[in-house]
Amino acid sequence: MGLGIIFILFGFVGSVAFLFGLIWYLMKLGGEDSDATLIAQNKANPLQKKARGKDLRPWAAILVLGGLLTVSATTIFVFSSKSATDSLNQMFSAIWEIEAKPSDLLVTVIEEEEILDPPPSEPPPPPPPPPTVDNVVISEEKIDTVIAIDTSAVIIEPDIVIDEPQIEDDVIVDVPQQKACFKDADANCGSLSGSEQDECCQKAILTYLAKVEYPTQAKDLGVEGKVLLRFVVEKDGSISQIEKVRGDDMLASAAIRHIKSSGGMWVPGQNNGESVRSRFVAPFTFKLR
């Protein structure tokens, strides 16, 4: 930096010295003419009132051109030298830093802070030392504990399993000793016994089943066929648990209605002379004529 400043100072001093020397030389040349001759020649021009040796305006162009050449030569010399260029850059940088505004400095500081790496995180504190456990002496003495239980106040009931006997009234007998019979005043099957009574009852039930009403919808559609119903004859002669075994649904509905209407018209089946619940199967035949 010092070498560049020295070059600049020498260039400036040389330029000033050159200008002063040139001015002095020109003034010396102009002093050779007499003032009288100069005044006589310049009477026509009111602006030229001085002697020729003291008027420098005719030499203005030469002086300006000489100064420009001197300054240009000095500048070219300074910037052609790398050391001088570096010195100038450092000098102007120092001047810019001094004259920089506070706001510019603030922006620079903020940008530098943003670029800085974050500080390293502090390591976690070491774990606390394990608590010290004092030596504990455990006595091995046995302690006999006596628990008094008042058994007089506690009544333990044993689990009692009661086998419920099967109630005979709920038993349904498929084939009783004496089958259930349909009551028919005309047949009077009750006065008979044995196989004759069975044949009479069979004839009476078939006669009743043949009186079933043919369903209108099935008749219109031309539906024919057989229906088999199964039901239970209770001890009092009523009917329960009617279900279809097979047959068309429309025909079976008509058969079920017909069986329900026969409730109370049955003699229950018997075992050992006692009435029992018995199962009965009734066939229906539907045929259009």
Average pLDDT, the chain: 70
Q: What is the pLDDT of residue 175?
A: 87
Q: How far is CA 124 from the centre of its chain?
A: 35
Short-list 25, 21, 30, CA closest to 50: 30
- pTM for the model stands at 0.41
Short-list 27, 53, 51, 54, CA closest to 40: 51
User: 229-251: per-residue pLDDT in tens?
Assistant: 999 999 998 999 999 999 999 99
Measured CA to CA, the distance from residue 120 to residue 106 in angstroms comes to 25
How many Cβ atoms are within 10 Å of 285's Cβ, its own excluded?
A: 13
pLDDT band for position 152 (cuts 50, 70, 90): very low
> What tokens does 33 get?
């003419």
Judged against a pLDDT cut of 70, whether residue 206 lies above it is answered with yes
Q: What is the pLDDT of residue 167?
A: 47
Pick the range with the lowest mean pLDDT from 11-15, 27-31, 115-119. Answer: 115-119
Measured CA to CA, the distance from residue 245 to residue 263 in angstroms comes to 20
pLDDT band for position 178 (cuts 50, 70, 90): confident
Residue 193 amino acid letter: S
Q: What is the pLDDT of residue 108?
A: 44
User: 249-286: per-residue pLDDT in tens?
Assistant: 999 999 999 999 887 788 898 899 899 999 999 999 99
Contacts of 285 (CB under 8 A, 6+ apart): 210, 226
pLDDT band for position 184 (cuts 50, 70, 90): confident
pLDDT band for position 124 (cuts 50, 70, 90): confident
pLDDT band for position 117 (cuts 50, 70, 90): low
Contacts of 238 (CB under 8 A, 6+ apart): 263, 264, 266
Judged against a pLDDT cut of 60, whether residue 128 lies above it is answered with yes
Measured CA to CA, the distance from residue 75 to residue 221 in angstroms comes to 129
Contact (Cβ atoms closer than 8 angstroms) between residue 235 and residue 271: no
Question: What residue ranges define each of the domains in the chain, with the CATH number in brackets?
Answer: 2-115 (no CATH), 172-286 (3.30.1150)
Measured CA to CA, the distance from residue 43 to residue 33 in angstroms comes to 16
Q: Which residue would you say has higher pLDDT here, 33 or 256?
A: 256
**What are φ and ψ of residue 165, in 5° steps?**
-65, 145
Q: What is the pLDDT of residue 284?
A: 92
Alpha carbons within 13 angstroms on the beta-carbon side of residue 259 total 24
Q: What is the pLDDT of residue 227?
A: 94
Judged against a pLDDT cut of 80, whether residue 219 lies above it is answered with yes
Judged against a pLDDT cut of 90, whether residue 195 lies above it is answered with no
Give helix 60-80 / helix 2-30 axis angle, nearest 10°.
Answer: 160
Cα-Cα-Cα-Cα dihedral sign, residues 205, 207, 209, 212: negative
